[in-house]
Amino acid sequence: MKILKYTGSCFLLVFFATSASAHTYQAPVTDSQWQFTGNRVACHLSHTVPQYGVGVFDQRSGEAIKFTLRAEAYVPPIQTAMLTSVPPRWMHDAPILKLASLKGNKKVLSVNSDASERMLQELSNGKFPQFSYKAKQGKVKVSISSINFLAAMSEFEACRQNLLPYSRDDVHQQLALFTQSSALITHQNRKLLKKAGTYIKEAGVGQRIDLVSGTEGFSVKDGRRVYDKRIQSIREHLQQVGISEDRVIALADPEALETPEGSIRLKVAGPEPFRQIYFNSGSVKLNARDHAKLDFMLEYMRLQNAKAKLVLKGHTDSKGSRFANVKVAEKRVAVIKKYLLSKGMKTNQIVTKAYGESKPTTTNRYPGGRQLNRRVEISIVG
């Protein structure tokens, strides 16, 4: 992380005419400081306002710039504020310009991207952006000094031009998807892992990639064995692109460790959890767990092949007549199709079949077997 501080000594004493009733906070002209820090994932340009707090321009990779003024001394909660550009005394004919109206958040004022860019422009032109708001003790004015700004600004702009073209959100909490029972790194995973690896390398020493199961809560036969193989494949691939093993952590419990701001968390998952939806005896209703499985399947399809087709095959146990069981199987398939259509799938993407009791996966002699036979099998084609 590059850190530069810009200070200077001047002996001009007064910049503005201020109202006697206003409480004005501003860095002294002999000690106006701007500090730049940055790398390829974030650029920061900060200015201390003595006895008040700190103002920071913040630009993160893949995101819009913003400015935040944070009061570190005690101030009453800020409701609304006005942001203006105030010229120094020697700019005799320059007018005061209104830049934005702001809503406060307790002790913080946040400026959106457009107004932040305008602030940079005004500071570069020697103006002083000023925040004004009303408090119990009278009007408060907080001025952001342009003294010693230009040198720091040049570093900040160079940093902005060199930011990564994607944000942390483009990789953080994303799914590293695998095909059925496979641990092979797909082309799509290679792209995701490359982005994640580059991000943590640029974010600095100590940042890491956390790997968690993207299908926690789903009971899948042999799931742990397959998951462990996928974790190992990801580790080996990341080592090939320069990420040391100690910077990749596999978390058995997603809540066991918090992922720091400069690090990335990836969810490792395959299609296994949604291959079957099981039903209670005689039931054609989906529960919250079924909805979660289907939502995961839709996300899987969106990332793998959004135009693929689904084949839904309905099955029952052997209780009841064959005719009645086919009808139950049809209803189970239909309720899943209805849910998928409500989530945006197209009718021509879904193929339905109802087999009733004719294709059991195990014996119907025992309750456990009948439970496994009351199912809709889901497969992705294409």
pLDDT at 312: 98
Q: Are residues 256 and 288 in the same domain?
A: no
Q: Are residues 197 and 308 in the same domain?
A: no
Q: Are residues 102 and 66 in the same domain?
A: yes
Q: Which two tokens stand for residue 137?
A: 């003790």
What order do you get walking across the sheet with 248-250 strand by strand? 174-177, 264-269, 209-213, 248-250
CA 62 to chain centre: 11
Domain termination residue (choose one: 239, 270, 301): 270
Alpha carbon distance 364, 315 (integer Å): 12
Q: Mean pLDDT for each 10-residue chunk of the chain (382 residues)?
A: 53 39 85 96 97 97 97 85 92 90 91 98 97 86 96 97 97 92 92 96 94 75 80 95 94 84 92 90 94 92 90 96 96 98 96 96 94 95 83
Q: Are residues 20 and 146 in the same domain?
A: yes
Q: Are residues 86 and 19 in the same domain?
A: yes
Alpha carbon distance 263, 247 (integer Å): 10
pLDDT at 59: 98
pLDDT at 222: 60
pLDDT at 12: 35
Q: Are residues 105 and 205 in the same domain?
A: no
Q: Are residues 42 and 123 in the same domain?
A: yes
Model confidence pLDDT, tens digit, residues 40-75: 999 999 999 999 999 999 999 999 999 999 999 887
Report the number of distinct structural domains present in the chain.
3
Q: Are residues 253 and 357 in the same domain?
A: no
Q: Are residues 264 and 277 in the same domain?
A: no
Q: Hey, what amino acid is at 185?
A: I
Domain termination residue (choose one: 227, 251, 270): 270
Q: Which residues, at least 6 apart from 2, have a Cβ–Cβ distance to it below 8 Å?
A: 36, 37, 38, 39, 155, 159
Q: Which domain holds residue 231?
A: 168-270
Q: Are residues 363 and 227 in the same domain?
A: no
Domain termination residue (choose one: 130, 161, 192): 161
- Region at 51 (left for phi over 0; alpha for psi -120 to 50; beta for the rest): left
pLDDT at 86: 95
Q: Are residues 28 and 122 in the same domain?
A: yes
pLDDT at 25: 93
Q: Are residues 318 and 357 in the same domain?
A: yes
Q: What is the CATH number of the domain that holds 26?
A: 2.60.40.2540
Q: What is the CATH number of the domain that holds 315?
A: 3.30.1330.60
